[in-house]
Amino acid sequence: MDLLVLPGDGIGPDISAATVEVVTAAMARAGCGTVNFSYADIGFVSLKAHGTTFTDEVFAASRDADGVILGPVSHNDYPPSDKGGLNPSGQLRRRLDLYANIRPARIRPGFTPRCGIPFDLVVVRENTEGFYADRTMFVGTGEVMPTPDLAMAFRKVTRQGSLRIAESAFKLALQRRRKVTAVHKANVLRVSDGLFLECVRQVSAQYPTVEYEEKLIDAMAALLIRDASVFDVIVTTNMFGDILSDEASELSGSLGLAASLNAGAEHGVAQAQHGSAPDIAGKDLANPASLIGSAAMLLAWLGERRSDPTLERAAALIEAALDRVIAVPEHRTRDLGGKLGTKAFTAKVIEALAA
């Protein structure tokens, strides 16, 4: 199996190296076949060397790999796209058609729930449409400025995109507690969110054993804080999913623990939810748990697609090891109130794989 590692910017190289160590150890423990890691530069390193943050060669390597481990990038600090400042994450999502962004959030052992009630939910976020300007137009951007005093943004919602993200949510719910909550703002965005809801309802009718409900986005933001435990699988459009998943991750402990998988029909990319934190890059301070957990999701996804129980076992071993380490306060990284650096935390996770 060939995995491509794109370390990225800031702490990306630090947590990518940690993730490779853990994945290698877990796959050996699970009896998986050989995994070959290859590496390619993106972000500022690529910009300096090639004049762009994301080359066509890196895209081709991503397309040809069995899976990609993507480190965080500092895209807010890149130059304009016409000067080479492409967002590697957005490029991969759009060009590989990674339409599903799967973001779990749960209370890990040893953590006191911030709102008092343990929960375990997954946000299934549409990943290729919505308001995000780099994913709405075939040519150009989804934002325009007709005059210096007027800015406009276009929102893209398609029937195909809505049906397939709904299908992903209901299939996932069958593996969990069989409940799907669709989040929308159709009372105001009557046409775009109206189409989204129409599609989710259509898919819901095909899954009679899955409970289905709908919530307005503003109410949902409040309900997560009140009691997130009543939710199982949340399906929504791109921007709403981005916001809700960050909220849920903070409620569950920290964005430093927030894993995510970008998945399409043919490709999967593991990506931490958090940013590149350049102020602590190279200082052995970064928490690698989010990217390690994301890589576990990638292994599970590959295992299911290939009917390979060893890959699924490797993913389960990583998740269990993270739980064991994080449950002990003194074994956590500093952002979680512990004392360990990136390397020491990684060593603890690898040690816990054998427990």
Task: Determine which one of 9, 14, 41, 132 is catalytic.
Answer: 132
Selecting among 56, 218, 227, 284, the annotated active-site residue is 218
Instruction: Give which of 102, 119, 107, 122 is closest to 260, Cα–Cα.
Output: 102
Q: Is 218 a catalytic residue?
A: yes
> What are the b/e assignments for 128-153, b being 16+ CB within 10 Å?
bbbbbebbbeeeeebeeeeeeeeeee
For residue 32, report the phi and psi dihedrals to the nearest 5 degrees: -75, 165
Query: Is position 171 annotated as part of the catalytic site?
Result: no
Residue 137, both tokens: 């137009």
Catalytic residue status for 246: yes
Q: Is there a catalytic annotation at residue 323?
A: no
Catalytic residue list contains 185: yes
Q: Is-contact 245 258, C-beta < 8 A? A: yes
Active-site option among 97, 120, 134, 246: 246
**Catalytic one of 134, 185, 308, 335:** 185
Q: Which residue out of 14, 212, 242, 348 is catalytically annotated?
A: 242
- Give the residue numbers marked as catalytic: 132, 185, 218, 242, 246
